[in-house]
Copies of this chain bind each other. A is one copy, B any other.
Amino acid sequence: MPDQDAPVHPHHLSSSTPERLTQRSDARRNIQKLLDAAAALFVTSGVEVPVREIALKAGVGMGTMYRHFPTRADLIVAVYRHQVEACVEAGPALLAESSTPFVALQSWIYLFVDFLTTKHGLAAALQSDRPSFDALHNYFLERLVPVCEQLLDAARQADEMHSDIQALELMWGVGSLCINTTKELQIDARRLVSLLLTGLR
């Protein structure tokens, strides 16, 4: 996976080929510094943290930031790309190793919940309708929905569930339940999600 952490440009969202065969080493270094800074700040201040703070922490100029990540979504996608891809790959793996397809689905959904709930503000950003978040939104759905679909189909074929829910719908619901569960009001997203899963059966 040679392009991991590379800047994400819209038309490359579903591509896995490197966008440029050569790249100046300082550019590559700056990109990494930005990703590291963003990852750290997303944790402490959420994904809506001012871009200037990210550039500052990365020790690069604003222009550099914009050159590599034209929109905030590009940066968010790049920061979480690894983990999303790990989630994508976990789908078939879980299906293979779990006792039943529905158990695999459950495990996979909890994986996703754990991912979202540890990223302050990410679940909300995923559902934002602000144009600058479109790329984020698209990327997540494009990668994860097919996996979820596969798991749902398997569960249905095994007669473990009869709900006709769509994968997109389920992912959306799970994402929603993960919003704002890091705040003072301690809501346990897993509990709510488990209700949803129980309801699927």
| A residues whose Cβ falls under 8 Å from a Cβ of B | 124, 127-129, 163, 165, 168-169, 172-173, 176-177, 179-180, 183-185, 187-188, 191-192, 194-200
Contacts A129-B180, A169-B187, A197-B199 known; 17 new A-B pairs at CB < 8 A: A124-B124, A127-B179, A127-B180, A129-B183, A129-B184, A163-B195, A169-B191, A169-B192, A172-B185, A176-B176, A176-B179, A176-B192, A177-B177, A194-B199, A195-B200, A196-B196, A198-B199
User: Would B180 and A192 count as touching, CB distance under 8 A?
Assistant: no
> How far does the alpha carbon of A105 sit from the alpha carbon of B18 in the complex, in Å?
54
Shortest Cβ gap from A196 to chain B (Å): 5
Residues of B within 8 A of A129 (CB): 180, 183-184
Residues of B within 8 A of A183 (CB): 129
Shortest Cβ gap from A126 to chain B (Å): 9
User: Would B177 and A173 count as touching, CB distance under 8 A?
Assistant: yes
Residues of B within 8 A of A124 (CB): 124
Residues of B within 8 A of A169 (CB): 187-188, 191-192
> Taking CB as reference atom, which chain B residue is nearest A177?
B176
User: Would B191 and A165 count as touching, CB distance under 8 A?
Assistant: yes
Residues of B within 8 A of A184 (CB): 129
Residues of B within 8 A of A200 (CB): 195, 199
